[in-house]
Chains A and B, each alone.
Chain A
Amino acid sequence: MMLILTVIAITTVSAYLLGQRIRRRPVAALSTALTGMFECVGACVLFLLANVAVGVSVVLAARSAGWTFASLYAVNDVTLVVLAVLQGLFFRFWWRSSGGASPGA
């Protein structure tokens, strides 16, 4: 755990110094960036929950209709997480760029 925290601390401080000294980014913008990061994570989590809910519904519907057998474990796939991240990032930036505020803001 200490190794991971050390690695994260080194790269985070490096990126901060790079942004402040070389690219002249204002320190005050950090809180905006933090809020943006939380929004991105929130969007990704909501898409993940929606994907899991839809996946479970489809599997159960297919079973009850007798079309085919599909395991519910298929929904527990890391690919779903990665795609939910892409969905979350894409739609969060779209919502921001089109109206200035994300849903629920």
Chain B
Amino acid sequence: MNILKWVGVTALSGFLISVTTPLWSYLARPLVVEPSLAHADAIVVLAAGIEPSGSLSSESLRRAVHGLQLFKRGFAPVILLSGPRGRSRAGRSEADARLDLALHWGVPADHIVVVSQGTTTWDETQAIASALSARRASTALLVTSSLHMKRARAVLERRGVTVLPAPSDDYLGVPRSPQQRFFLMLRVLEQGAAYLRYRAAGYI
């Protein structure tokens, strides 16, 4: 049996099925947590990356805007904006860039908490839990991408925070074109592997 040939046949078949059917929307369901919007002590917006120029990545901007919309609708008295310096060469962190955005939106400075520590979800939630504890906040509306939500919520709840999921997107509702289905597959594989790694490491 020619191994290369059968690996190729399997890969091509998997690719065609993945880009022409909603297979990965179904496979993603175990990772997705339904939104639960209610009043909380704080809105927590998780990091998603900053460009070397100092601009927020598109995912970071999407999360930040969603968090700010929740704040403007009165879901919490405080919004916590997270994000390390990462790849930025502009001398400011992702959280600082989000702070500028929040101030531009008219959010009072004393209603904003900035957390710039943590380069992984595990480390980031530790810094966030400390910041929330310092403000005696025990419930949080958690803003992150829908495929990241299950892992992030589990870690933050382990640190003693009651989490209300507020996903910033609807990944399962988005894929319509072959390219969108392909990228959904990559995201599900990425976040599924990360979830399993956190389970294996005993984080969740």
Contact = CB atoms under 8 A, between A and B. Distances in A.
Contacts of B119: 69, 71
A41 B12 contact: yes
Contact of B178 (A1, A38, A42, A72): A1
Given A1-B20, A45-B7, A38 B12 contact: yes
A41 B190 contact: no
A89 B12 CA distance: 16
B190 A43 contact: no
B8 A40 contact: yes
How large, as a class, is the contact surface on chain A?
Answer: 20 to 34
Contact of B7 (A37, A42, A69): A42
Interface residues of B, number: 19
Contacts of B12: 38, 41
Interface in B71-122: 119-120
B1 interface: yes
B4 A102 contact: yes
B190 A42 contact: no
Contacts, number: 60
B38 interface: no
A4 interface: yes
B20 A38 contact: no
Interface string A11-43: 000000000000000000000000101111111
Given A1-B177, A72-B194, A76-B186, A35 B11 contact: no
Contacts of B134: none
B2 A45 contact: no
Interface in B1-35: 1-9, 11-12, 20
A1 B7 CA distance: 25
B190 A39 contact: no
A12 B5 CA distance: 21
Contact of A43 (B4, B9, B186, B194): B4
A65 interface: no
A92 B4 contact: yes
B98 to A, nearest CB: 19
Contact of A46 (B1, B7, B20, B178): B7
Nearest to A41: B8
A103 to B, nearest CB: 7
B9 A38 contact: yes
A101 B1 CA distance: 11
A92 B20 CA distance: 29
A41 B14 CA distance: 12
Given A1-B20, A1-B177, A76-B190, A105 B2 contact: yes
B5 A35 contact: yes
Nearest to B1: A104
Interface of A: 1, 4, 35, 37-43, 45-46, 69, 71-73, 76, 92, 101-105
